[in-house]
Structure 1
Amino acid sequence: MKNMLKGLGAALCVALPFLAQAPADAATPAGAGAADQALVQRGAYLAQLGDCAACHTAPKGKPFAGGLPMNTPMGRIYVTNITPDAQTGIGGYTEADFARALREGVAKDGHNLYPAMPYPSYAKVNDDDVKALYAFFMHGVAPVQQANRESDIKWPLNMRWPLMFWNMAFLQKGAYRDKPGKDVAWNRGAYLVQGLGHCGSCHTPRGVAFQESALDESGSAFLSGALLDGWFASNLTGEHNSGLGRWSDEDLRTFLKSGANRHASAFGAMTSVINNSTQALSDQDIAAMSAYLKSLPPVGGNGAAAYTYDPQATKVSLDRPANDAGARVYTAFCMHCHGVDGRGFAPMLAPLAGNPNVLAKDASSLINVTLNGTGDLVINGVPSPFPMPGFAAVLDDKQIADVLSFVRAGWNNGAPAVGAAEVAKLRQSTQAGR
């Protein structure tokens, strides 16, 4: 399908972008007069907050020129060129066109965008931020002539007209409005998390029509964790075991700035969010996002009792690894980084004891990161010294299932075992085309 997601493409990140009605005078085409540099710079910051580069810049590609493949339940799509090139990008977009695409999911030529592009989140972004973003993309980004690639979605799922009805059912128009009774920091955090950060796009479960089950804290499913493209995006509510219930405000702020803390390390798409977005945010915005997330009541979890650390049972298993297949694998491949006590060497090497991702009911992320490893966290230009390697070529499905079951049971984690069939399924889906 030509001009797939023309003008703005799809965005599925993981972990933490942006933008209800364009101003009446927003009809200035790109290049008409010199842009206010302060506005362009502000737009650049907002684009970082939205992590636009992560989705719209392909590996080894030019900034914002598109081409990155993304998997959806309907098939593979390719994000589009959002540079100000007039032929292949969004150079012909007025500010009103730009706002409509971002916040209503309708491109300049009138075709509907697939909701893989998280315009239901961007609908919350206010007019001032739309104006700044438009200034940045029109005057702060180099134009790149690169044609958009057709999607792999087959007929009839590639038809666009049903999306009008999808929008009627699920799109809530209107920029975010401050909630009465909440302070400035809470409202700023809510605005960023729900809108620009589009955290719900990854961390909120979706319904049968691919709609987010909730768009803010008024829905109980909001940010309770969700399976997406072979990863389980973590629970961001106050749930004690698999959520943020044991994280202090400082823990959360540290994670958003560096991708690691005493509880966990970023992996999968969240690595890109840390690298391209949250580490560059102001301390005030990080604090606001943390204040909002820490206010969310506990939802989800695996029903287990509140986690407390207990090393004894696992210590006995590791003393006699021949008695446990998972312990044998752990001793050979995992123990040197994650420790006999399961506490790792945080923040450089993630703990496994009490790690929210280990305690999650869905083990997809553990399987995926064990098979495929994860990309480097790059903080202030310095790559992390000990990224998680992949073991797909070293361990078979049963060995991975055994070691993950061992880890999920160890140190009082009390999480369900992992089956070899689960590993085989994720191996097939994530290794395809490699």
Structure 2
Amino acid sequence: MKNMLKGLGAALCVALPFLAQAPADAATPAGAGAADQALVQRGAYLAQLGDCAACHTAPKGKPFAGGLPMNTPMGRIYVTNITPDAQTGIGGYTEADFARALREGVAKDGHNLYPAMPYPSYAKVNDDDVKALYAFFMHGVAPVQQANRESDIKWPLNMRWPLMFWNMAFLQKGAYRDKPGKDVAWSRGAYLVQGLGHCGSCHTPRGVAFQESALDESGSAFLSGALLDGWFASNLTGEHNAGLGRWSDEDLRTFLKSGANRHASAFGAMTSVINNSTQALSDQDIAAMSAYLKSLPPVGGDGAAAYTYDPQATKVSLDRPANDAGARVYTAFCMHCHGVDGRGFAPMLAPLAGNPNVLAKDASSLINVTLNGTGDLVINGVPSPYPMPGFAAVLDDKQIADVLSFVRTGWNNGAPAVGAAEVAKLRQSTQAGR
């Protein structure tokens, strides 16, 4: 994982304040009994599981009031207000309206939602969970009057009616059903990963119509990693180098709870997932998600042998950094955190030797995080002490390409080199508007 990336709902999300419970100023309706309150609280938990806050709460904005910009292949859209405000939010939605929007991508007034909203995943959410989510958003969220903003997508691409045909082709209706022969933990994990967790929205490659190439483990591309908005969402299958093949069940559970383990640390969009969602999940649900993910067969590898650590060649290079431009940059800017041996100081500072993100064929995430850094992981209210800083203002394109090539070939990593043109392209796309 990001290091396993989400995912972006379907775009890059910004780390937000952790919402462990319903907002304090969200009043419970008069006459609401204990059973109703229990339903609201269950809905609050499910909203965290779905990471709704990450996309529907803008930086410094009010909870769930929308406004967060999201990049799509057609242009920028702005996430909508899902507070129970009657004029600008979803206060006028019945439970049936809410279920249709959540699971079919159709708003109350009949217009189609862009599939940046992961309704192909939410289609699998069962009726009981939809009821609880509806109770939370109607009675556990404070109404905010904030008008929704029109997208920046130009005509004719901004027309919504073609999405009806997109849904006919790619939307699979029907709540998740347990598969015969699978135990309770696997089935719960599959439901969470495929449904509210919507991991496939970022980690599964997309086709020419921006559809996910697979929606569950029956498709070979499912969770095999994907490029999205300047980040490469990591391979979550059992692939032994760039995937989770070398991760134990405990490694994966630790990552989901804290955003870091002995292999990697979260950055980019996955920071938001950890901050707003997975750290708050029950140990039982974390174990179920891990059991399901660890059951996925390896997909997306390049046929290379399983990674083994070898410090010798890199040690020689670091002993004579004048002979290697990448080693010179590494010793000046990277070595103090990631170590002369590339093993870092996990889990506080990520290792680079054998890190799945370093071994991935696509280097976009490494380039992006080197240019722009990452937000703080905030676990139990405490920010991480050593977030990755950005070096866009310090290092030029060639220097970044040199140091990433050094890292990707060092310590027996054996990944392809990075070119200055790749860095320049991501610098231009990620720095625009900053």
Give the conservation status (yes or no) of the 8 Å contact 2:69–2:76: yes
Task: Say which is worse superposed, 283-292 or 1-10, in terms of deviation.
Answer: 1-10
2:34 is the alignment partner of 1:31: no
CA separation in 1, counterparts of 2:87 and 2:42?
26
Distance 1:427 1:20, change over 3 A: closer
CA separation in 1, counterparts of 2:51 and 2:279?
11
Distance 1:77 1:34, change over 3 A: farther
Which structure carries more relative contact order (alpha carbon 8 Å, separation 6+)?
2
Return the offset for 1:35: 7.6
CA separation in 1, counterparts of 2:386 and 2:2?
42
Return the offset for 1:303: 3.2
Task: Say which is worse superposed, 7-16 or 392-401, in terms of deviation.
Answer: 7-16
Return the offset for 1:306: 1.3
SS at structure 2 position matched to 1:341: coil
Give the conservation status (yes or no) of the 8 Å contact 2:22–2:140: no
Return the offset for 1:99: 0.1
Q: Deviations over 1:203-234 (max 9, x none)?
A: 00000000000000000000000001100000
- TM normalised by structure 1 equals 0.93
Q: Deviations over 1:218-255 (max 9, x none)?
A: 00000000001100000000000000000000000000
Q: Deviations over 1:380-424 (max 9, x none)?
A: 000000000000000000000000000000000000000000000
Give the conservation status (yes or no) of the 8 Å contact 1:275–1:379: yes
Alignment gaps of 5+ in structure 2? none
Distance 1:108 1:82, change over 3 A: same
Q: Deviations over 1:11-67 (max 9, x none)?
A: 766999999999999999999999800000000000000010000000000000000
2:373 is the alignment partner of 1:369: no
Give the conservation status (yes or no) of the 8 Å contact 2:66–2:148: yes
Give the conservation status (yes or no) of the 8 Å contact 2:267–2:369: yes
Q: Deviations over 1:134-182 (max 9, x none)?
A: 0000000000000001100001111111111110100000000001100
Give the conservation status (yes or no) of the 8 Å contact 1:124–1:175: yes
Give the conservation status (yes or no) of the 8 Å contact 1:321–1:328: yes
Give the conservation status (yes or no) of the 8 Å contact 1:17–1:198: no
Q: Deviations over 1:322-342 (max 9, x none)?
A: 000000000000000000100
Give the conservation status (yes or no) of the 8 Å contact 1:103–1:122: yes
Give the conservation status (yes or no) of the 8 Å contact 1:17–1:197: no
CA separation in 2, counterparts of 1:23 and 1:347?
32
Question: Which residue matches 1:68?
Answer: 68
Give the conservation status (yes or no) of the 8 Å contact 1:241–1:354: yes
State the identity as a percent.
99
Aligned length in residues: 434
Distance 1:360 1:15, change over 3 A: farther
SS at structure 2 position matched to 1:232: strand
Distance 1:313 1:31, change over 3 A: farther
Distance 1:178 1:321, change over 3 A: same
Q: Deviations over 1:304-325 (max 9, x none)?
A: 2211100000000000000000
SS at structure 1 position matched to 2:227: strand
Alignment gaps of 5+ in structure 1? none
Q: Within 5 Å, which residues of 2 pair with 1:32-51? A: 36-51=36-51
Distance 1:11 1:179, change over 3 A: farther
Give the conservation status (yes or no) of the 8 Å contact 1:259–1:266: yes
Distance 1:181 1:355, change over 3 A: same
- TM normalised by structure 2 equals 0.93
Distance 1:8 1:253, change over 3 A: closer
Give the conservation status (yes or no) of the 8 Å contact 1:4–1:151: no
Distance 1:28 1:20, change over 3 A: same
Return the offset for 1:302: 3.3
CA separation in 2, counterparts of 1:340 and 1:5?
26
CA separation in 1, counterparts of 2:12 and 2:338?
30
Distance 1:16 1:4, change over 3 A: closer
Give the conservation status (yes or no) of the 8 Å contact 2:6–2:202: no
Give the conservation status (yes or no) of the 8 Å contact 1:19–1:196: no
SS at structure 2 position matched to 1:350: coil
Return the offset for 1:270: 0.2
Q: Deviations over 1:234-283 (max 9, x none)?
A: 00000000000000000000000000000000010000000000000000
CA separation in 1, counterparts of 2:241 and 2:4?
40
CA separation in 2, counterparts of 1:339 and 1:27?
51
SS at structure 2 position matched to 1:71: strand
